[in-house]
Amino acid sequence: MPFIKIYVHLVFTTKNSHPFLDTADKRSKVWKHIKENSLKKDVHIDCVNGYSQHCHCLVSLGANQTIAQVAQLIKGESSFWINKKEMTQDKFGWQTEYWAVSVSESIISNVRRYIWNQEQHHTKKTYEEEIKEFIDKYGEGG
């Protein structure tokens, strides 16, 4: 049995960055669902949180999982669930794009804290500013 310990900080945005997740209650239900459903699908999400138009997940990848598979599973299933529950007035969707960076085990606690404090973080900084910092820090990616 292989031993794999690869952490990825995954961030994805609502379609057109629309603030669909505009209440703390709505966000709480979505984050809880994402974590519970992912566990049923053998996707380990260490923590999940976000704000009105985006989601952060700290994911521990399994031996046969790719970032693309995990992102698709989380985004696709949660979109379906949100629409089925009629949690938004308009049809809900996530954008196709996402950001993902590897996370060293030595800074896991910092990343958890950052993800858990999204609400407070976004009282001081917009999502656009957050993404600009993300790209400046990690580069354009590929």
Q: Can you tell me whether residue 100 is helix, strand or coil?
A: strand
Q: What is the pLDDT of residue 126?
A: 72
Q: What is the pLDDT of residue 102?
A: 94
pLDDT in tens, 80-136: 999 999 999 999 999 999 999 999 999 999 999 999 998 886 677 776 777 777 777
User: Would the pLDDT of 140 be above 70?
Assistant: no
Q: What is the pLDDT of residue 19?
A: 94
Mean pLDDT, all residues of the chain: 91
pTM (predicted TM-score): 0.87
| For range 58-71, the mean pLDDT | 96
| For range 2-27, the mean pLDDT | 93
Q: What is the pLDDT of residue 141?
A: 55
Q: What is the pLDDT of residue 125?
A: 73
Structure tokens at 27: 């966000």
The identity of residue 142, as a single letter, is: G
| For range 69-85, the mean pLDDT | 98
Domains of the chain: 6-138 (3.30.70.1290)
Strands 44-51 and 6-14: unpaired
pLDDT in tens, 15-55: 999 999 999 999 999 999 999 999 999 999 999 999 999 99
25 contacts 82 by C-beta, under 8 angstroms: no
34 contacts 85 by C-beta, under 8 angstroms: no
Q: Which of 82, 106, 101 is nearest to 92 (CA)?
A: 82
